[in-house]
Structure 1
Amino acid sequence: MLAASSAAAQTRPAHLLTPAQRAALDADIERAMQQYADVPGLAVAVVQGDSVVYAKGFGVRERGKPERVTERTLFAIGSNTKSMTSALVGTLVDAGKMRWDDPVWTYLPGFRVADPYVSREATIRDLLSHRVDVENNISAWYRSPLTRAQLVERLRFLKQDASFRSRFLYNNLMVMTAGEAAAAAGGKPWNALIRERLFAPLGMTATLTSSRELTADADVAAPHVPFGGTLVPVPHVDADNIGPAGSVYSNAVDMAQYLRFQIGRGAIGGKRVLSEASIAQIRTLTTPIGAWQATVPDSDVTVAGYGLGWLVESFRGHRAIRHNGSIDGYLAEMQVLPDDRVGVVVLSNQMTLPLPEALANHILDVALGLAPRDWIGQALARDRAQEVQIAARQQTAESQRLPNAAPSLPLDRYAGTYADSLRGEIRVAFEEGKLVLRYHAGLAADLEPWQHDTFRAAWRTPNVYSLSPMLVTFAVDAAGRATAVSNALLGTFQAAPRARTAATGGDR
């Protein structure tokens, strides 16, 4: 397994960026934002050794408005939160309040998934390394009113997607559960615990645990999502219920402190926050990963696997840990080369373009003095090629639609409530001659007949489901009753009693 390096490698000197290199980075980033015209704003931080050598903002907080992004502008960092939760657990391990290989039920006695064996044997390490191998379900938590405690209660409906500990299956709910276990062990909610045990010692004074803590006058970048052929700002999503897996907001200044802490192997400014033993556990490859597509193919960037909250990689022959994070309207990239004592974070308020990773790779090339690659240009070309492929697949799907394949039932007979024990309720209403699907708060889509009992969901407002075309299909029994509605991303929902009664009402 890949683990922490030797003491000699830990002290490899970092060659600080020169003023000329920093000025060149300014120009590179501005040029990249011109290439990626749909990225309103960026914030970048670079740390070498124990020095913050670069922290700067670019672009605007919201498209069409003049307020500029600075190094202190807040962005959601999405799944980069996971490594912070692992570090929090590490502090509790150091304090003798937790152990990596304790069963989850040690801290959460009610923890259950569908498989009794997995319920009994799953450990904190399993949760943080994505090897419990239950289904990765987004619809249970995304914009859901359920609290973390309620989500943990519903985990008993999560079925195995693969044999326990057999493969890497990314799962936000499992990392959230690890955070709840930490809260139980620490005697405080995860939000308070991570502020006390991680953010405060690191001097991350501006960092928030979720969007609930944003103030009306906050210096925060507006999230942006493609919708209806253009890029639009969207409200901040409330992801507190998945908090330990992805709800943190931070800025370049604070994230630089987090990079210092990682480069310092758990210490910052001469103060130890996390033991080297826990750092080693976190960075040890726990779950191997198969082929992983890099930003640029044939780039000598390879993913070996996942540790605890970090991907374990090789960046052009240099040992690396990294993660990215995407949540409504934001995309963030964080990379640390422990042996070279360099770290980079790139924060963006646009979630669909690969600029943060490509830019971070470019910065590492500069910091390491490597022969440059056109990470940014090649990633852009690859992204555009993917857009062409997606458009071609959509055209193919359109061409394969059966002609005159009308719905098998009158539209009002699809209306009703459909429920799932894990995912909650979907309500389908017949309104003004068409079907409307409503799910969690703010999620409403007009259902347009596609083919037989399959409908295309046209979302009324931008959200994670609206990023790609979505088809939903009703199951109809021999008596002509709609018995279920399903979609690969949302899941399957069974008709509730009297589900065929027409429902009405406006958007939630």
Structure 2
Amino acid sequence: MKLSSPKTLFFALTLVVNTAFAQEKAETSEAKPINIEKQLKGFDDYANKLLKDWNCPGIGVGVVYKGKLVFAKGYGYRDYGKKLPVTPNTLFQIASNTKLFTAVSAGMLVDDGKLSWDKPIKNDVPTLNFYNNDLNNTVTLQDMLGHRTGISRHDMVWFKSNITGKQIFDKIKYLEPSAPLRTKFLYNNLLFSTIGQIISQKSGKSYEAFVHENILNPLQMTTSTFEEAAMRKTGDFVVPYNEKRDSDILYEIPIYFDGEGLNPAGGLMSNINDISHWLMALMNDGKYNGKQVIPSDVLKATLEPGLSLPNSPKYNEILNANYGLARMSVPYRGHLLLMHGGDLNGIHSQISMMPKDNIGVVVFVIGDQSAVLYNTITSNVYERLLGLSQTPWSERLLKDHIDAKKADKEARSKATNSQIPNTKPSHPIADYLGDFSNEPYGTITISQKDKDLQFKLNNLILPLHHYHYDRFDTDNDENLGQYSINYRTNPQGDIDGFTISLDEGEVFFNKKVDANFSNPQKLKIYEGKYESAGTIVTVALKNDQLTISIPGQPDYQLVPYKENEFKLKEFSDIKVVFKLENGKVTSVTQVSSTGEFELKKKE
């Protein structure tokens, strides 16, 4: 997962290319053995130069060759403040590199006959519901693992929350697709979380227990863990440091941990030594120490071509990217390269292999400013080992980074250019406060804090300031980003919600009313028949929702609004007001732009 901006959250993808190109003749033949020490001569100087050029706190690099870990080394610091070095045992959050563990786990259940790759997943998991029946009847496990459902990220559903896997599973039905099925690659962490829940349902044990029992333990990945406490107990783990956006100052940021619900998408922590065992198995048809840990057919399934990714508009070395199931393929200079990246704030990883050359590489990088180094280092290691000329990736990408940093600073200097001066909110400040809800995102709370307002979504809390008219903006935090909310006034003149840009689009949050107004026991007092000029309407509770029935018209749902006041769900400009005397309802009045129409309650 990568938090490059609050509106573009992702477990990062990396360089990929269509496996069809994998048959191209390699520039060097694997028949000739590789002298690791000779080929990596000068790499230490190269890595240390990267630390300096990119203001990078620390890097970890591991190389597996012909089934053995032949190189494992740290550069710089795992804790820059305390000057503690990166070691082959330093635990990094591998973020989206967890996804292949999830795909393999699901594949094991396919092998057991409990799931199917290419039949509708709902056939195997009836309780899973998508946004519509078209998706229910067609989405497969392969679609979910290959990010080809047409459902986009919606990462703010889980960001800085304590959301559980079951809660995510239940929210999938609210995620409207933004592209037709199997037409566009749209990365989705929530669907991987959902697969974790499915693994738990089908195996009868937690997702984490399944992965430990079937993968980590057989591969002797003894330090790898999903638990923060276990990570801290080792004493050798990463403390992330980022570069200030307008300077070269490094500062510590909190280690980010998602709720357990995101573990299947990116919750595993591991190190060079442990990941080398994973690479050995992946490169040896699923075998480790002579034992078949991962079924061979499962590994083959993860490599089946899915959807191609867009090509870089600037660099031509890597073209025609293709994503399989939780990993990608690219013919890098004539050699088949399989890879995936993983990103969290301040911590970045890439796990890759050239299976036909018997080489695997793991790279860990600390610092968002130097995240792209996992691509740079990965390419450089392979080029050195294969005797290829070294592509100047660092020089190219460093120029891009410096240009982007300059452009970002210039853009922020113009942030208030569109602000209209000397405007005021249309309502008293108290009207803008309260809880505002949306499915699937949950609740945003706007509260008063000292002389200002405060914005809270899950555990994301930021100051909120008036911008102009009924627009309010949070501070532009360099880690958490900025949010702009635009309040809406309903036809009755009240603030009834706001629009905010989250993830890939605008989302509307309704202002929540007092929960007592929706209490079915309270709503029962409004039931009955009401009459005016020979017309009789009926108010009744149906599935705990209050409805009004008018002869010759469809039933209308009455949405609680204020004490004894409701709005018609279908018509925002109409409200219904009940009149009470001595605790009993005596009449109901329809209020709209055309007037007020009162109907007396029939005894």
Match of 1:328 in 2: 345
Write the deviation string for residues 361-396 of structure 1: whole angstroms up to 9, x where unpaired.
Answer: 111211221111111221111111112222333334
Contact 1:236 1:328 in 2 (8 A): yes
> 1:277 is aligned with what amino acid?
D
Distance 1:13 1:250, change over 3 A: farther
Match of 2:484 in 1: 471
Deviation at residue 357 of structure 1 after TM alignment: 1.5
Q: Which moved more, 1:70-79 or 1:129-138?
A: 129-138
Match of 1:179 in 2: 196
Deviation at residue 419 of structure 1 after TM alignment: 0.7
SS of alignment partner, residue 325 of structure 1: strand
In structure 1, which of residues 470, 483, 486 is the aligned counterpart of residue 500 of structure 2? 486
Match of 1:369 in 2: 387
Contact 1:136 1:173 in 2 (8 A): yes
Deviation at residue 3 of structure 1 after TM alignment: 7.0
Q: Does 1:246 align with 2:262?
A: no
Alignment of 1:382-461 (within 5 A): 382-441=400-459, 443-458=460-475
Contact 2:131 2:174 in 1 (8 A): yes
Match of 1:22 in 2: 40
Match of 1:265 in 2: 285
In structure 2, which of residues 74, 78, 82 is the aligned counterpart of residue 65 of structure 1? 82
What is the number of residues matched between the two proteins?
A: 490
Distance 1:445 1:75, change over 3 A: same
1:320 and 1:49 map into 2 onto residues whose CA distance is: 16
Write the deviation string for residues 479-508 of structure 1: whole angstroms up to 9, x where unpaired.
Answer: 15252241233943221116999xxxxxxx
SS of alignment partner, residue 302 of structure 1: coil
> 1:388 is aligned with what amino acid?
K
Deviation at residue 159 of structure 1 after TM alignment: 0.5
Q: Which moved more, 1:335-344 or 1:164-173?
A: 335-344
In structure 2, which of residues 503, 512, 520 is the aligned counterpart of residue 496 of structure 1? 512
Contact 1:237 1:328 in 2 (8 A): no
In structure 2, which of residues 317, 322, 325 is the aligned counterpart of residue 300 of structure 1? 317
TM-score (structure 2 length as normaliser): 0.76
Contact 2:496 2:510 in 1 (8 A): no
SS of alignment partner, residue 475 of structure 2: strand
Alignment of 1:226-245 (within 5 A): 230=249, 231-245=251-265
TM-score (structure 1 length as normaliser): 0.89
SS of alignment partner, residue 48 of structure 2: helix
Distance 1:342 1:228, change over 3 A: closer
Deviation at residue 405 of structure 1 after TM alignment: 4.2
Match of 1:343 in 2: 360
Q: Does 1:43 align with 2:60?
A: yes
> 1:208 is aligned with what amino acid?
T
Match of 2:375 in 1: 357
Distance 1:14 1:398, change over 3 A: farther
2:22 and 2:381 map into 1 onto residues whose CA distance is: 23
Contact 1:212 1:238 in 2 (8 A): no
2:368 and 2:225 map into 1 onto residues whose CA distance is: 20
Deviation at residue 267 of structure 1 after TM alignment: 1.9
Deviation at residue 299 of structure 1 after TM alignment: 4.1
Alignment of 1:156-171 (within 5 A): 156-171=173-188
SS of alignment partner, residue 324 of structure 1: strand
> 1:471 is aligned with what amino acid?
S
Q: CA RMSD in A?
A: 2.7
Match of 1:290 in 2: 310
Contact 1:411 1:434 in 2 (8 A): no
Deviation at residue 15 of structure 1 after TM alignment: 3.8
Write the deviation string for residues 140-183 of structure 1: whole angstroms up to 9, x where unpaired.
Answer: 11222221011101111111111122211100011121222222
SS of alignment partner, residue 447 of structure 2: strand
Contact 2:92 2:364 in 1 (8 A): yes
Contact 1:484 1:494 in 2 (8 A): yes
Q: Which moved more, 1:266-275 or 1:78-87?
A: 266-275
Match of 2:170 in 1: 153
1:31 and 1:427 map into 2 onto residues whose CA distance is: 47
Contact 1:211 1:247 in 2 (8 A): no
Distance 1:289 1:317, change over 3 A: same
1:453 and 1:14 map into 2 onto residues whose CA distance is: 69
Contact 1:333 1:347 in 2 (8 A): yes
Write the deviation string for residues 169-215 of structure 1: whole angstroms up to 9, x where unpaired.
Answer: 10001112122222222221110101111111222111112435434
Contact 2:346 2:366 in 1 (8 A): yes
Match of 1:119 in 2: 136
Match of 1:83 in 2: 100
Contact 1:41 1:69 in 2 (8 A): yes
1:70 and 1:342 map into 2 onto residues whose CA distance is: 21
> 1:172 is aligned with what amino acid?
N
Name structure 2 gaps, 5 residues minimum.
1-17, 516-560, 563-603
SS of alignment partner, residue 85 of structure 2: coil
Contact 2:219 2:278 in 1 (8 A): yes
Write the deviation string for residues 388-441 of structure 1: whole angstroms up to 9, x where unpaired.
Answer: 222333334433333334444443321110111211111100222211011213
Contact 1:473 1:487 in 2 (8 A): no
> 1:164 is aligned with what amino acid?
L
Identity of aligned residues (%): 24
> 2:501 is aligned with what amino acid?
N
Please tell me whether Structure 1 or Structure 2 has the larger radius of gyration of its CA atoms. Answer: 2
> 2:166 is aligned with what amino acid?
A
Match of 2:216 in 1: 199
SS of alignment partner, residue 60 of structure 1: strand
Deviation at residue 32 of structure 1 after TM alignment: 0.4
Distance 1:14 1:189, change over 3 A: farther
Distance 1:362 1:469, change over 3 A: farther
Distance 1:245 1:302, change over 3 A: same
